[in-house]
Amino acid sequence: MNLTYLFIITIAIIVLIFGFINIFSPKTGWWLEIGWRIKDAEPSHRCFNYEPC
């Protein structure tokens, strides 16, 4: 198996995992993207209604 092919498959799997996290648990997805940088932060309801934050 070619190393480049393995790298592309690994990246695709990681992207799919993060996509499923955002679909089934948007709050966790928000925390992985932004929340870890801000102490004691909570996402607004507006972010979960698919409106621009």
Q: pLDDT tens across 32-45, in order?
A: 777 667 777 676 66
Taking only the tens place, the pLDDT of each residue in 2-41 is 889 999 999 999 999 988 888 888 878 777 777 667 777 6
pTM here is 0.58
Residue 39 CA: distances (Å) to CA of 10, 22, 34, 36, 42? 31, 21, 10, 7, 9
pLDDT value of position 6 = 92
